[in-house]
């Protein structure tokens, strides 16, 4: 295959949103975790906005039972908009929530078999195109956004890319970790990938941080991928098989990552983003100072 084979534009993105959100019960009993607000935007909205900034045109949500509200969030709310218009209220807050008809596709992950399986469920929609993956639990905060930084790198090197961040070595066992090769600024060649290694076995402290650009060949590998760490079908295992067959790089994100899959990370994201908001920052800072004595 020519080098141009691995440089097709990235137009589609997969959002795995089928999880049950059990760590946030009882809040997530009836409301998908992805719709819990960070300040005044649902968690999934941050990921979709990041995707739009990067030029993504088609949004593929891999859902499960009880997740229809996510799709409704990105639909036109005629009654709400008509009422707001009649009352003279601006519709500007609703504009980011609209995804054009035909640009939002949902597929169902019927059994929770892991991230690799969730991505594989989107194979018919992805077809033979490269695609991005967003894990909404990981709120990537910065300007330009993480995926825009990755797309810019993809336009230079093509192939497959993952977003990485450096963490203390004692934390690597909770993540996928890259074995690094040559480094060129924020771009690192990926020589290998290991899912949740022991600290002593970790090839680096650069963890994969919830954003990917992958070539469509990964779907064929996921088709026959056996269960890996945690008894689940791991995306990392199939990605590792592409190394040496296709270009593979990591982009160190110039921004902040918040682990909104945990309660502490969710609170941290809410406070950090509120402090950074021109309309809220001063008041929130004063409130926090008062609370802290």
Report all structural domains of the chain as residue ranges with CATH numbers, in order of start.
Answer: 8-261 (3.90.550.10), 262-293 (no CATH)
Q: What are phi and psi of 111, to 5 degrees?
A: -130, 135
The H-or-E segment that residue 9 falls in is: none
Q: What does each of the 293 residues of the chain score in pLDDT, given as a tens digit?
A: 445 667 889 999 999 998 888 899 999 999 999 999 999 999 999 999 999 999 999 999 999 888 889 999 998 888 998 999 999 999 988 888 888 878 999 999 888 778 889 999 999 999 999 999 999 999 999 999 999 999 999 999 999 999 999 889 988 888 889 988 998 888 999 998 888 888 888 899 899 989 999 999 999 998 887 676 666 778 888 888 999 889 999 999 999 999 999 999 999 999 999 999 999 999 999 999 999 98
- Tell me the C-alpha distance between 212 and 262, whole Å: 21
**Rounded-to-integer distance, Cα 122 and Cα 10, Å:** 15
Q: Are 28 and 145 in contact (CB under 8 A)?
A: no
Output helix, strand, coil percentages for the chain, rounded to the nearest 5: 40, 25, 35
> Looking at residue 4, what is its pLDDT?
65
Strands 187-195 and 160-166, by their bridges, are unpaired
How many whole angstroms separate alpha carbon 193 and alpha carbon 195? 7
**226 Ramachandran zone, left/alpha/beta (phi>0; psi -120 to 50):** beta
- pTM for the full model? 0.92
Is the N-terminal amide bond of 149 cis, ω within 30° of 0? no
């Amino acid at each position: 295959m020519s080098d141009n084979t691995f440089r097709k534009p990235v137009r589609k993105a997969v959002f795995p949103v089928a999880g049950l959100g059990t760590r946030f019960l009882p809040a997530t009993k009836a409301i998908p975790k992805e719709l819990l607000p960070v300040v005044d935007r649902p968690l999934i909205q941050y990921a979709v906005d990041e995707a739009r900034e990067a030029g993504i045109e088609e949004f593929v949500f891999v859902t499960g039972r009880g997740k229809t509200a996510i799709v409704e969030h990105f639909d036109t709310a005629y009654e709400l908009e008509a009422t707001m218009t009649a009352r003279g209220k601006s519709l500007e807050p609703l504009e980011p929530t609209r995804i054009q008809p035909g640009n939002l596709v949902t597929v169902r992950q019927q059994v929770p078999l892991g991230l690799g399986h969730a991505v594989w469920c989107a194979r018919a929609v992805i077809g033979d195109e490269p695609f991005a993956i967003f894990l909404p639990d990981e709120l990537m905060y910065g300007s330009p956004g993480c995926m825009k930084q990755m797309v810019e790198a993809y336009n230079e090197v093509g192939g497959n890319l993952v977003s990485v961040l450096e963490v203390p070595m004692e934390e690597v066992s909770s993540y996928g970790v890259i074995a690094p090769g040559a480094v060129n600024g924020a771009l690192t060649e990926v020589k290998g990938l290991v899912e949740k290694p022991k600290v002593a076995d970790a090839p680096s402290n650069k963890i994969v941080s919830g954003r990917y650009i992958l070539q469509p060949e990964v779907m064929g590998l996921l088709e026959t991928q056996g269960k890996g760490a945690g008894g689940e079908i791991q995306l990392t295992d199939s990605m590792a098989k592409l190394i040496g067959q296709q270009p593979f790089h990591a982009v160190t994100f110039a921004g902040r990552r918040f682990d909104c899959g945990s309660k502490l990370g969710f609170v941290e994201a809410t406070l950090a983003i509120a402090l950074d908001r021109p309309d809220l920052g001063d008041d929130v800072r004063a409130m926090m100072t008062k609370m802290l004595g």
